[in-house]
Amino acid sequence: MKKLSFIFLGIFLLGFTTACDDNDNIVDLIDPSFLRVVHLSPDAPPVDVEVDNETVLENVSYTESSPYLEVPALLNVKVKAAGTDTTVIDQDLVLIPNDEQTVIAANFLADLEALLLFDDNTPPAEGNVKVRAVHGAPSAPNVDIYVTSPDADIEDTEPTLTNIPFLGVSDYLEVPAADYRVKVTPTGTKTVVIDSGTVSLFSGEIRTIIARNAPGDEGEPFGFLILEDLN
């Protein structure tokens, strides 16, 4: 079973408190960070995004994402229903200066939350790619993920990642550049609920693959959102 990393903002805030013990770290936090925003709440309307009360993104729809935005390392992010003052997320974030992170507006609207990912866009070795997986489908149970050649039969294959819960995030997998197929099943079964078809990955690329609900509150059919972290 691959190790899963679970992203908790509170842990990072604790780390920030420790970092402020010396002046050098305080100076570092003045440097900017780079933040990407993803709308992954299937029943939420399009949203506007504010950073420190300034609008930086407008009318972002479900599954849409921004490029990396240069932002302060210490910031407040508000997500509002587009064109209104209705705030659905109001979150103070502490980011890593001079580094890249992704914040995902996740879950159904009634339980909307911010999931912060720490992006490692260090290029893979020559001829390789890096891929990580996120379980972002609130209607799905814990899942197994198979990353195989396009024609592989998963009936005789062990899952690449096992028992990933909602909002679970895998470590990066570094694999040779090639054609792959990603299939997702409820944990312990071979019932495929998401099938990527053939995905071609080229040397040097980094991708974040997110399992998602269909738009609305029904859940199925599930699908993937693939973020192009590095080309």
pLDDT at 170: 93
pLDDT at 219: 80
pLDDT at 131: 96
Three-class secondary structure of residue 130 per DSSP: strand
pLDDT at 3: 39
All domains in the chain, ordered by first residue: 4-118 (2.60.40), 128-230 (2.60.40)
pLDDT at 80: 92
pLDDT at 14: 34
The stretches in the chain having pLDDT less than 70 are 1-29
From 140, 103, 144, select the one nearest 214 (Cα to Cα).
Answer: 140
**Other C-beta atoms lying within 10 Å of the C-beta of residue 58:** 12
Answering whether pTM is above 0.75, one says yes
Q: Is 29 exposed, middle or buried (0-12, 13-18, 19+ CB in 10 A)?
A: middle
pLDDT at 65: 94
pLDDT at 231: 85
Tokens standing for 58? 């407008």
